[in-house]
Amino acid sequence: MKKALKFACITCAVSIALTGCSQSNNPASTPVATEQTQQVKTYNAKTFFDTTSIMGSSFSPTGDKVLVSSDESGIYSLYEVDIKTGSKTRLTNFEDSTYPIRYFPNDERVLFTKDSGGNERYHVYVREVDGSIKDLTPGEETRASFAGFTKDGSQFFITSNQRDAKFMDLYRVDSKTYKVTPVYQNTQGLDVGAISPDGRYIALSKNNTNKDSDTFILDTYKKTLKPQLISKHDTPAQYTPETFSVDSKYLYYSTDAKGEFSEVWQYELATGKHSPALKDDWDVSFIYFSKSGRYQVSGVNADASTKVTVKDTQTADEIAMPKLPAGNLRGVNFSSDEKTMAFYLNSDTSPSNLFFWQVGSNEAKQLTNTLSEDIDQNDLVESTIVRFKSFDDLEIPGVLYKPKQASSTNKVPALIWVHGGPGGQSRTGYSAMQQHLVNHGYAIFAVNNRGSSGYGKTFFHLDDKKHGTDDLQDIVYGKKHLQSLDWVDADKIGIMGGSYGGFMTAAALAFEPEEFKVGINIFGVTNWVRTLNSIPPWWESFKKALYDEMGDPATDGERHRAISPLFHADNITKPLMVIQGANDPRVLQIESDELVAAVKANGVPVEYVLFDDEGHGFSKKENRISASNAYLNFLDTYLKERFGPQG
């Protein structure tokens, strides 16, 4: 498990979290004159959330449809998209969001996953061709995930903690009868990383520390199921399974053992030979292959943007893509005959749109238009990558959004945005929440403080057991950088963030009480003592790595108390907003309840927005709109002081 996923990065895994901010009572758009008499429209929350979020790119067996999940109805639901017409057919209609896994290889049954009210106990479901739904992993306390089909499609694999809440066991499921057969009982805290297409080999990983992990191979054809270590090494390094070759002869794994950044290496199962496969000047984020293995898809995290490459393995050349709108590729998938490719394009000013392309042709067809038709894309803002020196001269990167209204004669208020994690990364790409605040005249500087992923393993570990101290100073120095810009109002700078970023927001107000004028804590940790003693049981396999990162509650309780904003809430003197999901299994509601009560006792303005039907992040569009209205009204009141300070 990579560090960026260890705690609670609510801005990654599902892009549903933290989108959009505005006032829904305004007209759909209002012209605002800038210094250059340019007209910039500002859009209300309802208009911004007419924008659709979409994910998934699995082709049907015949290649004529693509399975996606879209929130156009207000909840993420499954749809089939006809690649010829772009028309969508809705497949699910639950109260909770549903997320696509894929079609069955040989028919149009669909696998998908969902939890209940944001509790993160995801189950694996099958939707039959007739529309009926079957839960393949029942149980109120069960958490399960899909692990892959065999190449012939006769079987697939799931992991589940049904036997032991702490560990995910591996099971084989018959594609016709859904009979479930145990494959591997996980008693060592290993995680399934990849399964060979022939179903024989299982690649497993184990987190030893937050700097060190191992990769194992399990040969299911042997009578004794004993994982074999294939990553022997003397110096701490990460080894993580990625995928198998389509002929099941090679495992591809990533490792940072050879330098600062992760590379992909190839392991030959028959001989045990290791050889380099793919490297770059940045982290190689992923690698996978089309069904026959002809096409290799890989991605590199290049300075907070993902650069995807598709290579023809027969020629070893990159395939020549057709001319496309500006944006970065993501979600690349091939039809079973490999004649057609589905993919998304995403940019700072355009949410992800689904395309399909007949490989080798001169033109790709855009199947979706996800930006609201009432929003002029020209009113949105492209980011720039900015670097500044922190307190110890360490160079800190960030993603900066400058409102079009901003100039030296029209200075604007600004916000430091802090990502989730610990160990996440603020990245380029469309964010309705950030774009909407920028649209309303707030600069946003998404600082990637020390400890963020994507900048090498040394940078990655600089915050270990220094949370709320050194990384907080990076945020403070990010504010100083904003104050050096002649288009920023130096006296009107706030801070906001989600999950770990919510902790950093509360920490900034508690430990640097004069630095930021306001703070918005979204699903943020405020009491590390409680949080680290109440982590979900399914985190057991990487608990040791988390403790290496944050400290073991058995021995570091004093430090956890020292960095927890809740115990220092009497220092908070600036207006605070807190957002919380009642079903959050990571940051319990009581943490936010107690922080709000403590800050109110100081006589400080506090606004508390509690969502009864959310967990650690937003899954419902209606709630994102409500939160967005709350963000903007709070900032207009206490940062812009448009309405004057209120108690």
Residue with more model confidence, 513 or 544: 513
| pLDDT at site 24 | 35
512 within a domain of the structure (yes/no): yes
533 within a domain of the structure (yes/no): yes
Over 50: is that where the pLDDT of 11 sits?
no
14 within a domain of the structure (yes/no): yes
Residue with more model confidence, 545 or 497: 497
Pairing of strands 488-498, 519-522: parallel
CB 198 within 8 A of CB 151: yes
Q: How far is CA 514 from CA 93, 470, 479, in A?
A: 48, 17, 12
pLDDT tier, 600 (very low <50, low <70, confident <90, very high otherwise)? very high
600 within a domain of the structure (yes/no): yes
271 within a domain of the structure (yes/no): no
548 within a domain of the structure (yes/no): yes
**pLDDT tens-place string over residues 216-253:** 999 999 878 899 999 999 999 999 999 999 999 999 99
**pLDDT tens-place string over residues 260-285:** 999 999 999 999 999 999 999 999 99
Over 50: is that where the pLDDT of 33 sits?
no
pLDDT tier, 486 (very low <50, low <70, confident <90, very high otherwise)? very high
**pLDDT tens-place string over residues 501-519:** 999 999 999 999 999 999 9
Q: How many domains does the chain have?
A: 1
- The whole-angstrom separation of Cα 444 and Cα 435 is 9
Average pLDDT, the chain: 91
- Across the range 301-305, mean pLDDT stands at 96
- Across the range 27-36, mean pLDDT stands at 43
Over 50: is that where the pLDDT of 645 sits?
no
| pLDDT at site 7 | 37
- Across the range 10-38, mean pLDDT stands at 37
Q: Residues with Cβ < 8 Å from 627, sequence gap 6 or more?
A: 18, 21, 522, 579, 609, 611, 618
- The whole-angstrom separation of Cα 635 and Cα 641 is 8
- Across the range 282-300, mean pLDDT stands at 97
DSSP percent split of the chain into helix, strand, coil, nearest 5: 15, 35, 45
Residues 448/452/456/457 CA torsion (nearest 10 deg): 150
| pLDDT at site 643 | 64
Matching residue, tokens 């919380």: 580
- The whole-angstrom separation of Cα 354 and Cα 628 is 26
Q: Residues with Cβ < 8 Å from 554, sequence gap 6 or more?
A: none
- Across the range 296-313, mean pLDDT stands at 96
Give the H or E element holding residue 631: helix 621-638
- Across the range 31-48, mean pLDDT stands at 67
Q: Per mean pLDDT, which range of 334-338, 381-385, 491-495, 532-536 is the poorest?
A: 532-536
| pLDDT at site 607 | 97
What percent of the chain is predicted at pLDDT more than 90? 80
pLDDT tier, 39 (very low <50, low <70, confident <90, very high otherwise)? low
- Across the range 18-39, mean pLDDT stands at 40
Q: Is 162 exposed, middle or buried (0-12, 13-18, 19+ CB in 10 A)?
A: middle
* DSSP 8-state assignment for residue 60: P
**pLDDT tens-place string over residues 397-410:** 999 999 999 999 99
pLDDT tier, 422 (very low <50, low <70, confident <90, very high otherwise)? confident
Opening angle at CA 162, ends 158 and 167, nearest 5: 80
228 within a domain of the structure (yes/no): no
| pLDDT at site 397 | 98
Range of the domain at 518: 3-18+25-33+41-48+374-638
* Three-state SS annotation for 435-461: HHHHHCCCEEEEECCCCCCCCCHHHHC
| pLDDT at site 49 | 80
| CATH number of residue 388's parent domain | 3.40.50.1820
131 within a domain of the structure (yes/no): no
Q: How far is CA 197 from CA 16, 135, 200, 456, in A?
A: 32, 25, 8, 32
Over 70: is that where the pLDDT of 38 sits?
no
What percent of the chain is predicted at pLDDT more than 70? 93
| pLDDT at site 59 | 97
Q: Is 28 exposed, middle or buried (0-12, 13-18, 19+ CB in 10 A)?
A: middle
- Across the range 186-201, mean pLDDT stands at 94
State the first-to-last Cα distance of the chain, in angstroms, to the nearest integer.
Answer: 44
| pLDDT at site 271 | 97
| pLDDT at site 647 | 35
- The whole-angstrom separation of Cα 82 and Cα 89 is 8
pLDDT tier, 17 (very low <50, low <70, confident <90, very high otherwise)? very low
Q: Which residues of 279-305 are buried (b: 16+ CB within 10 A; e: fewer)?
A: ebebbbbbbbbbbeebbbbbbbbbbbb
| pLDDT at site 22 | 32
